[in-house]
Amino acid sequence: MKVTVVGAGNVGATCADVLATREIANEIVLVDIKEGFAEGKSLDIWQKSPIIGYDSRTVGVTGDYSRTADSEVVVITSGLPRKPGMSRDDLISTNAGIVKTVTEQVVKHSPNAIIIVVSNPLDVMTYQAHLTSGLPREKVFGMAGILDTARYRAFLAEALNVSPKDIQAVLMGGHGDTMVPLPRYTTVGGIPVTELIGKAELDAIVQRTAVGGGELVKLMGTSAWYAPGAAAAQMVEAIVRDQRRVFPVCLELQGEYGINGVYLGAPVILGKNGIEKVIELQLNDEEKALLETSRGHVKEVMDALDTMSKASA
């Protein structure tokens, strides 16, 4: 069992660390273009194994995708992180080129791999990877919903002074300011969250979740990494162990929710084949309107990528 993580920056290294610590794969290959960077990160993780107590071997390589051959799952975290004042959309041109090149190498050496995209702007980078790979949507999708729901659940746990373990939630739509939290599908130990918290406070938490990534950029001067890395690792675990977990992921909608050809977050069953099933919720009119707003925003960014691609062709 081999899993590859492309990009040994903060998110990629955190993902590799969680994969190793939880012994999700026998071998985790970390790839980066910076000489010695992935090698150093993977060696550091491996040297932690006697302390924590795990057997998964981490290996780092500089740009050598032959070492990643026959990976079952590949996580792509490559790209520039956001800086203060920079929106996700500002990253589109540079990161699309990076994701395209990486995806070509991944498919060349691991044609049967399931690809999880973490690079920003997430929705359009998933689109780029899907286009480049030529693989079905069940095998190329993005990590966003798990991270967004984790932030939402963490904020709720703090407000309610309860364990985050007992909070279940679903979010949909694009990754960013137009995400669509669904309080109607949020529960605390099976109790609807609306019975435990007032509307004004819940709305404030929903809004904080929508700009959660930006809050961290302002605080640290760069994008988050602990939660995103762990979220990607959780998706890998669901696939490798065929857990059939219900997670919101970014994928190309093909008629679900009345949307075609746009990459948005939606709940799915995640197992050994990747996306085993897309779950269609019965959204009310308000939720549908929010999803349509999110669809329009993501479609604009997708169109921008298409324009750039035609111009450079």
The mean pLDDT of 220-244, rounded to a whole number, is 96
pLDDT of 228 reads 97
The mean pLDDT of 179-188, rounded to a whole number, is 94
**How far apart, in whole angstroms, are the C-alpha atoms of residue 282 and residue 261?**
20
pLDDT band for 197, please (50, 70, 90 cuts).
Answer: very high
211 is in an annotated binding site: no
pLDDT digits (tens, 9 = 90+) for 140-176: 999 999 999 999 999 999 999 999 999 999 999 998 8
pLDDT of 83 reads 64
Decide: 250 and 141 in contact? Cβ < 8 Å. Answer: yes
Tokens of 173: 């739509």
118 is in an annotated binding site: yes
The closest alpha carbon to 217, from 54, 76, 91, 105, belongs to: 91
pLDDT digits (tens, 9 = 90+) for 21-39: 999 999 999 999 999 999 9
- Is the confidence at residue 313, as pLDDT, over 70? no
pLDDT of 177 reads 84
Least confident of 87-91, 96-100, 254-258: 87-91
Question: Is the model more confident about 88 or about 32?
Answer: 32
pLDDT band for 73, please (50, 70, 90 cuts).
Answer: very high
Number of H helices, E strands in the chain: 9, 14
137 is in an annotated binding site: no
pLDDT of 80 reads 83
List, by residue number, the catalytic residues. 175
The mean pLDDT of 182-186, rounded to a whole number, is 95
**How far apart, in whole angstroms, are the C-alpha atoms of residue 179 and residue 210?**
6
Tokens of 124: 């359009």
- How many CB atoms sit inside 10 A of residue 160's CB? 17
pLDDT of 312 reads 73
241 is in an annotated binding site: no
What does each C-alpha distance from 70 to 5, 61, 109, 135, 240 come to in angstroms? 13, 15, 6, 16, 14
**How far apart, in whole angstroms, are the C-alpha atoms of residue 262 and residue 28?**
32
229 is in an annotated binding site: no
pLDDT of 86 reads 63
The mean pLDDT of 255-281, rounded to a whole number, is 98
140 is in an annotated binding site: no
